[in-house]
């Protein structure tokens, strides 16, 4: 099992095919293998190496609500004045790209990292990295380290 990264937005409706196009805009060596039985889930390849798994979740889905509730609970427990902005972003989120980064993805993270900037420009929102913190388009909003 790898580390999780979540991109959350209130006004984004990108599909996996559209997210794949963002990756391919960075490098044609990226490809997504979409699970036909779960069309919102895929594995992300760079050449022949699998870097990550991605799932698109929306506000009306149980997994989305469970993730948001858990994140809100974690942030609420912090004694940090900047948590209000994060809580606001979490409460308004309606779309989530959840990525499980595999060990090969850690090695090639500099390739993946550029996608977050593209998502910020297209969707606004928050980036959450497990055990690290929350980021917006301007940088770190709330550190968990």
Question: What is the pLDDT at residue 81?
Answer: 83
- Note whether residue 87 is domain-resident: yes
SS3 52: strand
Query: In whole angstroms, what is the distance from residue 70 CA to residue 29 CA?
Result: 35
Query: In whole angstroms, what is the distance from residue 122 CA to residue 9 CA?
Result: 10
Question: What is the pLDDT at residue 111?
Answer: 87
61: which DSSP letter? S
- Note whether residue 143 is domain-resident: no
Write a three-state SS string for the chain: CCEEEEEEECCCCCCHHHHHHHHHHHCCCEEEEEECCEEEEEEEEECCEEEEEEEEEECCCHHHHHHHHHHHHHHHCCCCCCHHHHHHHHHHCCEEEEEEECHHHHHCHHHHHHHHHHHHHHHCCEEEECCCEEEECCEEEEECC
State the residue range of the domain holding 105. Answer: 3-124
- Note whether residue 138 is domain-resident: no
- Note whether residue 132 is domain-resident: no
Count of CB atoms situated within 10 Å of the CB of 66: 11
Per-residue pLDDT of the chain (145 residues; tens, 9 = 90+): 458 999 999 999 899 999 999 999 999 999 999 989 999 999 999 999 999 999 999 999 999 999 999 999 999 999 888 899 999 999 999 999 999 999 887 888 888 899 999 999 999 999 999 988 999 998 878 776 5
Q: Report how many domains make up the chain.
A: 1
Query: In whole angstroms, what is the distance from residue 80 CA to residue 82 CA?
Result: 6
- Note whether residue 142 is domain-resident: no
- Note whether residue 29 is domain-resident: yes
Question: What is the pLDDT at residue 90?
Answer: 96
- Note whether residue 26 is domain-resident: yes
Question: What is the pLDDT at residue 2?
Answer: 56
| Helical spans, DSSP H, in 29-78 | 62-76
Question: What is the pLDDT at residue 57?
Answer: 96
Question: What is the pLDDT at residue 1?
Answer: 43
Question: What is the pLDDT at residue 74?
Answer: 93
- Note whether residue 75 is domain-resident: yes
């Amino acid at each position: 099992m790898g580390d999780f990264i979540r991109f959350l937005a209130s006004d984004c409706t990108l599909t996996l095919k559209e997210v794949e196009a963002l990756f391919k805009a960075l490098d044609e060596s990226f490809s997504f293998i979409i699970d036909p039985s779960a069309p919102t889930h895929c594995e992300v390849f760079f050449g022949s190496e699998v870097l990550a798994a991605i799932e698109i979740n929306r506000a009306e889905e149980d997994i989305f609500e469970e993730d948001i509730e858990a994140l809100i609970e974690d942030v609420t427990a912090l004694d940090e004045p900047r948590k209000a902005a994060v809580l606001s972003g979490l409460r308004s989120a309606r779309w989530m790209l959840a990525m499980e980064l595999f060990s090969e993805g850690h090695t090639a993270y500099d390739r993946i990292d550029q996608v977050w900037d593209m998502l910020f420009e297209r969707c606004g929102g928050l980036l959450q990295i497990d055990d690290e913190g929350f980021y917006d388009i301007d940088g770190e909003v709330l550190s968990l380290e």
